[in-house]
Amino acid sequence: MNILVTGAAGMLGARLSARLLGEGLGGRGARRVILADAVRPDVPGARADCRVGDISDPQFAAGLLADRPEVIFHLAAIVSGEAEQDYTRGYRVNLDGTRHLFDAVRAARYCPRVVFASSVAVFGGPFPQRIPDDFIAAPQTSYGTQKVMGELLLEDLTRRGHMDGVALRLPTICIRPGRPNKAASGFFSGILREPLAGQEAVLPVPDDIRHWFASPAAAVANLLHAGQVDLSPLGHRRALNLPGLSATVGDQIEALRQVAGADALRLIQRRPDATITRIISSWAQDFDPVRATAMGFSGDASFVDIIRQHLAETAG
């Protein structure tokens, strides 16, 4: 089995790639895992075939299909805050890059499984208390709009028999390890990650902001599941709201107190940012992901568990 991962140098992409190289997929070993990104992925393994290039370049995208990978994980994208600030680059990478990759799949004529990393940012308010699977996607950010467009392309090409696709609407990933990125949601990780490391963190939104979360481990597990599960129950509706954890910023801070004590809370600096608050407030807060749950996708139990998982990983 040949497998392609775009965005393989990113946090989720690197974790996903390492799992694929070590375990294969669905009990099948991977002959080759093609790892594509704008920078060289730092993933060891004899079967890792690293490709560096721009996913929005049609020739680069087409070259990724030369070995006809049976499963394609499309994670390449620029993040929400950067997509909002740079309209042109956001559409070039997040929409044109997806379109060129999907065009290459269509031209290859062999119908691979395609797992597209979408986002809960495809939704915009006003929201019901819990978002059902049939709630309309009406994003209020450029990033969310670009992800909806990718979902529609995937569904159309699946309908036409060019791919067996599924779009996973990923919750916000928390706790992200490493340095902060340009995502509008980055502070959700920062207010936990930095205090746990004895560093100050900036909180730009009120404590009552509620959001939908997944740990890195849960997100990767769901991506792997999507690469092998029978998708026929989805019919023509190939975008899935994934299970996650609904929590407020206050809930996060309380979990931090339970795990790390009151001293960690003193490292959180409240500095309101109207732009970040506007973006985050337009995103979904809670879901009832019946379809995904019935297909075996799963989420995290609590923020205490997420924090302990992060500490175990960073200690290793």
E-state strands within the chain: 2-6, 32-37, 48-52, 71-74, 113-119, 164-170, 172-173, 201-203, 210-214, 239-241, 245-248, 268-270
Q: Phi/psi of residue 204, each to 5°?
A: -95, 0
203: helix, coil or strand? strand
**3-state SS of 145-176?**
HHHHHHHHHHHHHHHCCCCEEEEEEECEECCC
Distances (CA, A) of 190 to 143, 175, 178, 202: 21, 8, 10, 7
What is the sign of the dihedral through the CA atoms of 258, 264, 269 and 273? negative
Cα(172)–Cα(214) distance, rounded to whole angstroms?
6
Whole-number Å distance between alpha carbons of 241 and 170 = 7
Catalytic residue among 87, 91, 110, 143: 143
How far is 11 from 266, CA to CA, in rounded Å? 28
Q: Which DSSP symbol is given to 110?
A: S
143 part of the active site: yes
Residue 28's identity, in one-letter code, is R
Q: Which residues are catalytic?
A: 143
